[in-house]
Chain A
Amino acid sequence: MTETSKEPIVQIRGLGKSFGDLRVLDGIDLDIHRGTVVSIIGPSGSGKTTLLRCINLLETYDEGSLKVDGVEVGYQDSGNGARRPRGDRELAGIRADIGMVFQMFNLFPHLTAAENVMLGLRKVRRKSRDEARAIAEDWLAVVGLTDKLDSLPLQLSGGQQQRVGIARAVAMDPKLLLLDEITSALDPELVGEVLAVVRKLADEGMTMIVVTHEMAFAREISDAVLFIDGGRIQVAGPPREVLVDPTHERLKGFLSRLNPEHNWENAQ
């Protein structure tokens, strides 16, 4: 992966969002650099998934600025300070460059594994059928599903479905990949095969933002870990600092609730 710019791929300033009286996001500031992996952890309802979904505007935001590759995602600046929501086509163009993998896989059930990967290549990237098929086959090989190209999602296990989900996202050659609790809906024995694929992507320099409950995994692949609670980034730093040697009280509480037996003080 070539480093085209020193400018952070994601720049977030003062991001805020409310559902009625509830402040879901409250003044988020965040820079994410190209080729890095950032994990977001926090209790459920903390706003971590909402933050992730704001980055490709699956959720809108009320305040602040969120730029991906220098482009404000949610709004078109009309120059005089007024903000106008982006149109359908503009938004589709921005989203095409931001991959996302979902907790519930969200594969298209009427399409085979290969067709799931091909849809965006054909209709968004405008590739020919053969070209799209070749790319789909390559990526499904990377995730170890060469023998499942023509299987429908309901014929696949959860782990296999999620690997198709990853292939579908990375086949678009995104600048950035968003992973939203991608192992939470999997049986424990299937988690490993999915994480192995993510590890491979990290090694190849894919920029990723990972919302996860897999602390050991976050520690292993992340360049930085953010702890979010109450819609705010409470702690941010290298994984060792955040996960191994936490000083923040709420973070300590969160980590010990996740894994009561684990002694975080002495973990290496």
Chain B
Amino acid sequence: MELALNSLPFLWDGLMTTLQVSFLVVVLALAAGVVLGVGVTYGTAVVYWPIRLYSDFMRGIPILVLMFFVYYGFPVIGLNLDSFWAAVVAMAAFKTAHVIEIVRGAVQSIAIGQTDAGKAIGLTFVQRLVYVIFPQAARRFLPPWINAVTEAVKGTSLISLIGVVDLMLAVQKVIGRTYEPMPLYIMGAIIYFLINYNLSSLSRMLERRFSYIRE
């Protein structure tokens, strides 16, 4: 136990990297996913099909394959990303596909009458989304989205495989020097758990805030 506590300073940088990658992935995937999710819900065929194909393809391949593809494959076409950014790009692209589906589900759950009412008072498309649809869809969006965020945080442990020193790789490096795997793996697990437990608590709090819709 003492060993695990003593190792904390060595894990700190790794934890920071994990949090940075998680944050970037979550923000990028949210921004892209909301735009593409709206596109797939309301778009004409020209907009719908490319997004549909993207989403289905991304959700159909393992994240590790995608990450190796970006890290080892992109240089072939002249795009050299260092391991940190390759990890961020691959994971964000992957997560975006999930956010697209969550947005689509949440937006489609809002009754068509809401759109009619928004149109009838003269709101434009964007105004209807911002003032009518999104505030109501938020409640449907949040639980699966927070779930996706925790998946993303856990998923970042895979970026150690392309050499990014995240929490996972930091744990392994300490193990490499101390030959004490158990306390350190437990320590690592506890840190991942604490991050995600806090996210889930946040999710429950937000759900209560958005509970004005009759089910």
Contacts and interface: CB of A to CB of B under 8 A. Distances in A.
Interface of A: 56, 58, 88-89, 91-93, 95-100, 102, 104, 106-110, 119-120, 123-124, 152, 154, 168-169, 172
Contact of A56 (B111, B119, B131, B213): B119
27 contacts: A58-B119, A58-B120, A92-B122, A93-B122, A95-B119, A96-B122, A97-B122, A102-B113, A102-B116, A102-B117, A106-B111, A106-B114, A106-B116, A108-B136, A109-B136, A109-B212, A109-B213, A109-B214, A110-B213, A119-B121, A119-B132, A120-B123, A123-B123, A123-B127, A152-B212, A169-B120, A169-B121
Contacts of B124: 88-89, 92
Contacts of B179: none
Given A104-B113, A123-B131, A99 B214 contact: no
A110 B122 contact: no
Interface of B: 111, 113-114, 116-117, 119-125, 127, 131-132, 135-136, 212-214
A44 to B, nearest CB: 18
- Main SS of chain A's interface residues? mixed
Nearest to A56: B120
A106 B117 contact: yes
Pairs of residues from A and B, 10 with the lowest C-beta to C-beta distance, nearest first? A96-B122, A120-B121, A106-B117, A106-B113, A100-B120, A124-B122, A92-B124, A110-B135, A95-B122, A92-B122
Contacts of B214: 109, 154
Contacts of B122: 92-93, 95-97, 120, 124, 172
B114 to A, nearest CB: 6
Among B114, B123, B135, B136, chain A packs the most CB atoms within 10 A around the CB of B123
Contacts of B212: 109-110, 152, 154
A225 to B, nearest CB: 24
B121 A110 contact: no
Contacts of B113: 102, 104, 106
A100 B113 CA distance: 12
B83 to A, nearest CB: 44
Contact of A168 (B121, B125, B131): B121
Nearest to B120: A100
Contact of B123 (A58, A109, A124, A169): A124
Given A98-B120, A108-B132, A154-B214, 15 more contacts: A96-B122, A97-B122, A100-B116, A100-B117, A106-B114, A107-B117, A109-B212, A110-B136, A110-B212, A110-B213, A119-B123, A119-B132, A120-B121, A123-B127, A124-B127
B211 to A, nearest CB: 10
A219 to B, nearest CB: 27
Nearest to A96: B122
Given A109-B136, A109-B213, A96 B114 contact: no
A254 B19 CA distance: 69
Nearest to A109: B213
Contacts of A168: 117, 121
Contacts of B135: 110
Contacts of A124: 121-123, 127
A152 B210 CA distance: 13
Given A109-B214, A110-B136, A95 B116 contact: no
A124 B121 CA distance: 8
A119 B127 CA distance: 10
Contacts of B127: 92, 123-124
Contacts of A123: 123, 127, 131
Nearest to B114: A106
Nearest to B117: A106
A108 B120 contact: no
Contact of B120 (A89, A95, A110, A154): A95
